[in-house]
Amino acid sequence: MISPDSREEALHSGHHPDLQHHFDDMEQQKEASSLGMWVFLAQEIMFFGGLFLLYLIYRMNYYPVFAMASSSIDVKWGALNTLVLIGSSVTMAMAVHSAQLGYRKPLVFFLIATLILGGVFLGIKAKEYHDKYKENHVPGMANFHFVPEPDKTGSIPNGVTPEFAETVSHNPAYQHTALIFFTLYFIMTGTHALHMIVGIGIIIPMIVLAWKGRYDSSYYTPIENFGLYWHFVDIVWIFLFPLIYLINRTPHIG
């Protein structure tokens, strides 16, 4: 383990083994990488922003069907996944902290914990997708069909009467609107899941390198940058969850 003041040494000597030739010192290299990550995340915000815009406009235009379609997604799993993801953000933050202090084993431990929680999230997501597949709610499949149904408590969600549910299930216009909801549901959560998969693809080699002692208190920028990325992906979910899962769950309010 490298002592804390060797970082200071490395910063000023200019001969740190991880210093790339075109930077003057480690500080410049670190600042460049972390600014690069922030700029990249700004770009990501615009990418997801386009999807959020589409979703919000259609949700405003087609609110009743969006509310009914939203009720068909199981909020339990979404809520659980939110907890899992927040948990993974905590372990990621701990990983960055360990890296800063140069603690190798805790770093590896927290990275693995993050990896596992990310995997759990994707597993639950896959289960949810499978449920949608069984319910014929996958856009692009010939058997796509949406029938609003009463929720598990037996009451009718969103003030939908059985007659109206019947109408929705036969009216092509309502079916088209439901198709838009599920399209956006799959594309938005799918794009998010894709970012998780990319993250997992990055974290696995990172764990190996961390185990080999590649990172210490004088060089941990990759961990820090990956942390930024991971937190960003979490935050996207924090917005996705209420927008997609929690439409009009409590119709008696308001």
- List of residues contacting another protein (CB under 8 A): 20-22, 24, 28, 31-32, 35-36, 39-40, 42-44, 46-47, 49-51, 53-54, 57-58, 61-62, 139-140, 173, 176-177, 179-180, 183-184, 187
Six token digits for residue 193: 């899941």
**Smallest distance from another protein to CB 32, Å:** 4
CB atoms within 10 A of CB 207: 18
**Smallest distance from another protein to CB 50, Å:** 4
Nearer to another protein, 116 or 138 (CB): 138
d(CA 223, CA 203): 9
**Smallest distance from another protein to CB 162, Å:** 24
Nearer to another protein, 111 or 188 (CB): 188
Judge whether 228 and 38 are in contact, CB under 8 Å: yes
**Smallest distance from another protein to CB 96, Å:** 21
d(CA 218, CA 49): 36
Give buried/exposed letters for 45-78 (b at 16+ CB in 10 A, else e): eeebeebbeebeebbeebebbbbbbbbbbbeeeb
d(CA 13, CA 26): 9
Nearer to another protein, 58 or 77 (CB): 58
Nearer to another protein, 50 or 154 (CB): 50
Compute CA distances 254 → 64, 185, 225, 249, whole Å. 15, 25, 43, 12
**Smallest distance from another protein to CB 188, Å:** 10
